[in-house]
Amino acid sequence: MHLWEIVRRSVAKRKRVRRRKSSLPPLPQHQQGLEVKKGDTFRTGNITFSLKDLDENKRRAELALSLGLPSWAGSFSCGAIFHLERPLNPVQLHVGASEVRIPPHGKHIEVAFKHAQQEIHISAYRLAEQALDVIAAQSFDISEIMNPLREYCIWWKGEDGIVLRSVSTMRFAPQMHFKVEILDPDGNRRTQQKPTLSWHPSLAYFRRAQAATDLHEAYRNLFLALEALLSEVCPWSRGDGERRWLQAALKHVVEGYGLDMRKYITRLRGNPYRQFIKEQYSVRRCALFHAKLSERPIIPGDIKDREELVRAADNLNKLYIELAKRVTGFLFPSSVVAERALDDSVSSMLRGDFYLDASVNGSTETVKLNKIDVEKFKYGNQIVRSGTLRWKLDRAVEEITRVWSVIISDGVADDGISSDSIFSADGIDVFEFVVRVEMVSSDSIADWFV
């Protein structure tokens, strides 16, 4: 191609960009919040605070399985057990020195390693995912691991013998409700006009991102939601490169609404729009939307660098919500619950004594757990508090049928955290019951499956 042709095309492209900018429709404008005029006053009332249990009853019932050291794993060093979304036929797979099995009931997948693992849970999860891929290819028997990073059992051989740790997660969404009235200078209640809102295609992607049970699927739908939103106010044409269009559309909409793009990137380096393209489009969007192995795609079930993906999804979620509020007029309500309120709520749940029902020679006995370690409350996109309960078995116990806490409030005993799963104690020397309590902010991405 001659130099003059390159120059001609470059000039023509710049003209098209300028013409497109001048022809863009004005950005939609919607009233946000309540209408308030000079001299008006506020009146609030009916304030209530509650915790919404996000655990589905069906799933809690499905988790009532018999968990413990697999009877076949006595010669192995460590392993893990995960619940399955749907039962599979019994399978036995050998992967090097490791072994994976689906037991006769088919409701969970068991993994065992010959050699000690630095991170038993993560190593077992990776191997279990790969085993399910192989099972699906061999027999079309298909299932998924149910909440693999929050509901599982691991076991290992330690100094005190064989340790079985059960991890269970309880999820709550703090909610605060209150009524606000706007009064005019004469004390009369000002009537608020309800805006007329219309469905927008991006909402379909956003809902599916929040309903996803996989972080990768959630991210894909979040990106599609943003893409659909931007294309409404800054249409894409075939002559546009996708990266160039995305950067131009973001700049047009973000600056048009007076937002700060720097709030939605991880590292403040140079042009924030280019940095967003680098962090989101180049590194993650392309790796999740394409599968060319030479381009290092993000493979389903891969949890490598998941913390970085969580941060990227969180920034993407916040950007979409701020733009969608202005483009569509929907409110996307934010959280107003203070961290102290959340801390107090979880502290009360973990304050009680913990007990378990154990089956001994065919009869049930109640035993108090003698040691409770509670980790420091961690604040972030999701607010998590974990309680680790450790009990050393000093006598023969066949089964642990229930673990629960008793909270004493104003002299009245009440049940707190409870697990009805059945743990087989055969061959176990130390039993650990780990409780994770998660407070999910109402204005954050639903990333509990991360």
Amino acid identity, position 381: N
CA dihedral over 71, 73, 77, 81, signed as positive or negative: negative
Q: pLDDT, tens digit, for every residue of 354-385?
A: 677 777 666 777 777 655 555 555 545 455 55
Q: pLDDT, tens digit, for every residue of 55-90?
A: 654 444 444 445 678 889 889 999 999 999 899 999
Query: Which domains does the chain show, CATH number per domain?
Result: 37-49+154-192+334-450 (no CATH), 64-145 (no CATH), 198-329 (1.20.120)
Q: How many CB atoms lie within 10 A of CB 228?
A: 18
How far, in Å, CA of 437 to CA of 450, rounded? 15
How far, in Å, CA of 394 to CA of 379, rounded? 37
How far, in Å, CA of 282 to CA of 243, rounded? 9
Q: pLDDT, tens digit, for every residue of 331-352?
A: 786 655 555 666 666 666 666 6
Task: Decide the pairing of beta strands 399-409 and 412-419.
Answer: antiparallel
| Confidence (pTM) | 0.76
Task: Decide the pairing of beta strands 430-440 and 161-183.
Answer: parallel
